[in-house]
């Protein structure tokens, strides 16, 4: 048989229902959509956990050493790869006092010039002025761009930061951050990095005054530098790569390949009597196998269309938002949905023999 004839026969079998293309396409499409969708949901969950880890302060580390932090050196940590924000903090002995509440001083902290831009604080400071917490803004009625009426001045508010009670270190939910010079030593060096690398932890001691060597920072050493998280309620580290590689749905592509292979083999196996009869009538094994593969590719393509259509609904209802992830999952589903059934059909066709015609007929 020539190629045009093989193609025509394959299309006729699909149109006539001999290949049961619609049934196999629906089954394959549903399986591919379920497996691909579950993988998208699992990946979206990892992305959500990573985003929450950053927003809640898990990726913000604090190098604490009272009166031992060099503000300029701490600000300089912004140049380290992966660092998104850095700045030094020290608490004033006497806080600012609102003019309307002269007996209620607000905890006030000096911060280095580069302090700001932390994901956990959600501040968008612009220009020279003070940063106030949301609670301070609510109490005083101040907002970005307004003047904070104090007993000893009227600084301009350039930003309002968020500091909810979600497990992060206490002490900053009702506070004012005031930019200051870097001449006097600070108490803490805040650094936000994603991810927090071992290299960053190794260079954190350079933020000490005079870059003097200090014992390895730890959370239980009250005499030397302490390394803490702004919020440790979600664990000390978030390893996205490990979470991705160990996700429950990581084998979904292999399962889809197996199901597709089986469906392809079943679609051919149910027609073994017809195929053996064709061989007996003179149809070559090559032509027969090619025809079967073409028929399988037709309903596999239909199944892929069904799967991708259903996956688009999963994406629209809160699946992964990363373009790379979406393209990766869609590409895997498309390739496996097309290739696995075709391979299954070809493998099953190779097992059908003309010599088995009588056995096939007898078993029908």
At 298, phi and psi to the nearest 5?
-65, -50
Mean pLDDT, rounded, for 179-200: 90
Where do runs of H (alpha helix) occur along 144-236? Answer: 198-203
Mean pLDDT, rounded, for 58-70: 94
For residue 209, the model assigns a pLDDT of 87
Lowest mean pLDDT segment, chosen from 52-56, 267-271, 302-306: 267-271
- Calculate what percentage of the chain has a pLDDT beyond 90: 50
Tally the residues of the chain.
364
Answer yes or no: is pLDDT of 212 > 70: no
Mean pLDDT, rounded, for 339-344: 95
Which residues contact residue 248 at a Cβ distance below 8 angstroms, ignoring those fewer than 6 apart? 42
- Report pTM: 0.76
Coil, helix or strand at residue 300: helix
Which pair of tokens denotes residue 260? 């597709």
Helix then strand then coil, in percent of the chain rounded to 5, is: 50, 15, 35
For residue 71, the model assigns a pLDDT of 93
Position 353 confidence tier, pLDDT thresholds 50, 70, 90: low
Coil, helix or strand at residue 100: coil
Which residues contact residue 298 at a Cβ distance below 8 angstroms, ignoring those fewer than 6 apart? 10, 11, 14, 19, 21
Answer yes or no: is pLDDT of 24 > 90: yes
- Calculate what percentage of the chain has a pLDDT beyond 70: 87
Taken in order 200, 205, 209, 210, the sign of the CA dihedral is negative
Answer yes or no: is pLDDT of 59 > 50: yes
Number of C-beta neighbours around residue 146 at 10 A: 14
Alpha-carbon distance values, 283 to 58, 264, 278, 286 (Å): 68, 21, 5, 8
For residue 284, the model assigns a pLDDT of 67
């Amino acid at each position: 048989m020539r190629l045009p004839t093989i193609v025509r026969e394959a299309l006729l079998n699909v149109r006539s229902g001999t290949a049961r293309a619609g049934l196999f396409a629906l089954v394959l499409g549903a399986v591919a959509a379920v497996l691909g969708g579950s993988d998208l949901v699992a990946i979206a969950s990892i992305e959500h956990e990573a985003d929450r880890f950053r927003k809640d302060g898990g990726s913000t580390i604090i190098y604490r050493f009272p009166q031992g932090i060099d503000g300029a050196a701490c600000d300089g940590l912004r140049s380290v790869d992966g660092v998104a924000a850095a700045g030094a903090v020290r608490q004033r002995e006497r806080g600012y006092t609102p003019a309307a509440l002269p007996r209620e001083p607000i905890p006030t902290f000096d911060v280095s010039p580069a302090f700001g831009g932390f994901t956990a604080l959600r501040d968008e400071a612009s220009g020279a002025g003070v940063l106030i917490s949301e609670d301070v803004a609510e109490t005083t009625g101040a907002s970005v761009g307004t003047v904070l009426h104090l007993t000893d001045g009227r600084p301009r508010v350039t930003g309002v930061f968020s500091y909810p009670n979600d497990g992060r270190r206490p002490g900053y939910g009702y506070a004012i951050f005031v930019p200051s010079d870097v001449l006097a030593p600070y108490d803490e060096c805040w650094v936000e990095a994603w991810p927090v690398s071992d290299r960053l932890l190794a260079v954190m001691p350079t933020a000490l005054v005079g870059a003097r060597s200090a014992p390895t920072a730890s959370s239980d050493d009250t005499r030397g530098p302490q390394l803490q998280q702004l919020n440790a309620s979600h664990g000390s580290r978030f390893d996205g790569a490990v979470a991705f590689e160990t996700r429950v749905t990581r084998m979904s592509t292999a399962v889809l390949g197996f199901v597709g292979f089986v469906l392809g083999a079943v679609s051919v196996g149910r027609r073994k009597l017809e195929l053996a009869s064709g061989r007996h009538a003179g149809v070559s094994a090559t032509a027969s196998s090619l025809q079967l593969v073409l028929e399988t590719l037709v309903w596999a393509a239909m199944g892929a269309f069904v799967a991708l259509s259903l996956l688009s609904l999963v994406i629209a209802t809160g699946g992964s938002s990363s373009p790379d992830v979406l393209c990766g999952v869609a590409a895997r589903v498309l390739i496996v949905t097309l290739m696995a059934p075709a391979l299954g059909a070809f493998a099953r066709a190779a097992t059908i023999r003309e010599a088995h015609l009588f056995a096939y007929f007898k078993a029908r």
